[in-house]
Structure 1
Amino acid sequence: MEARGIEVDLLINNAGIVVGKRSTDHNFQDIAGSMGLNALAPMDVAHRLLPGMIARGGGHIVNIASAAALVSNPKMSVYCASKWAMAGWSDSLRLEMEEANTGVKVTTIMPYYIDTGMFEGVRSRVLPILKPDKVVEQILAAIEKDWIYLRLPWLVNFVPLMRGILPARWFDRVVGNWFGIYRSMDDFRGRR
C-alpha cells in the first residue's frame, strides 16, 4: 500500500521497544515484536513515503537507531540486532538516494540511553544518560546541517574506531568492563 496524496517533507522514524532479557529467555513474540517495530516498521513507512519525496525532488528521512547499533550488550541481543538492522538499512538508503540524485536526504541517529522511561533502571558508569530535550535539539541541528550521522554523546563517535583497532577481547575489556556498558542492563526494569 502506497501513501497516496500524502506529502511529507520530513519523516522521523522514532519507534522502539526493548525487552531487556537474555537471548535464551526471549520467545518468538519478543523477537518478532522487537524486529518488527524497531526495524521493519520504519522501513515500511519510508517505503510508502519515498515515492512522493522522490517525485518532488526532496525530503529528509531521519532514522533513530541507537548506540546499540555499534556495541553488543548482554540483555539487549534482539534490541541490538534490530538497531544494527536499522542503521545498516538507513545508511544504505542514504547511498541509494545520493546515487540516484533524488534530493532525498537520510540521517541516522545513534543515541546512547535516553531518559524517557524506556530504559528505566539502566546504569551508566562513564557515559551520561541523555536528556530528551537536549537530544531533540541536537537532532534538529543535524537535520538542518544534513548530517549523515549523529552519535550521542560525542564519545560514541569513537566506538567505530575502537572496534576497528582493538582486538575483540580488548574492546570487551575497555567498552564492556571499564566503561561498564556490559553491566548497564543489570538493573533494567523498563517502562512500567
Structure 2
Amino acid sequence: MLSRGRVAVASLFIVASAASPALACRGGGECYDRVSYPDVYRTVERPVVVERGYRDVYETRPTVVVRQERVMLQPPRVTYAMTPPVTRTVFQEIVVRRAGWRWERTYGPYGERRCKVAVPAEVKVVPREILVHPGRRVRMVEPPVYGIQNRAVAVRPAQRYVVDRPPVIAYERTRVLARRGGTAWVRADTRW
C-alpha cells in the first residue's frame, strides 16, 4: 500500500499537469496563446492647397486714330421755279363806232335843209400784250455741300484677356493608421 504522503504528491502532480498549458499541449492537444498586436502606421503624402486658384481678366483699350475725311454736309436739293412768260406789245385798231350815216340839218337862204352825211368809223389804236412764250416750270438742282470732318477710327478694337491662375498645391507627409492593433489567438508552440 502506498502511503498517504505519496498519494498526496501524486495527486498534486496530476492536478498541476492538468492546469499547465504546456503540459496539456504535450499530450497532443491543440493550444492557442493570446497575442497583442500593436497599431500599424504608415507615412503618406497628401496634397494640400496652399493658395487657391483664381482668374484675372485684363482689358485693353482700343487704339483709335483721328482721320479727316470729306463728308457731305447737305445733300443735293431739287427745286422748281417758274419763268415769267415772254410777251410783246402790239398796237391794234379797234372800231369804237362803226361807219354809218347821219342826217344833218342846215339853214340856208332857202330855208332848212336835211342832208344825209356819211359818218366814218371811229377807230381807236389800243396797245395789246400778246404771249410769245408762256412761263414754264424749270427744275433746278443745287449741288451737295461738302466739308472736312474729323472722325475717330478704331485701328485695333479693345481686347479682353483671361488668365487662369492654378492653385498652389504642396504635399505634406502624414502618418496615418494603416491597421488598428488588437489581440488574436495564435497556435501555441508545444516546446514549453
If the TM-score is normalised by the length of the shorter chain, which range does it land in? under 0.3
> Which has the higher relative contact order, 1 or 2, with Cα contacts under 8 A spaced 6 or more apart?
2
Question: Whose helix proportion is higher, 1 or 2?
Answer: 1
Q: TM-score, normalising length from structure 1?
A: 0.11
User: What TM-score do the two structures reach when normalised by structure 2?
Assistant: 0.11
Structure holding more strand per residue: 2
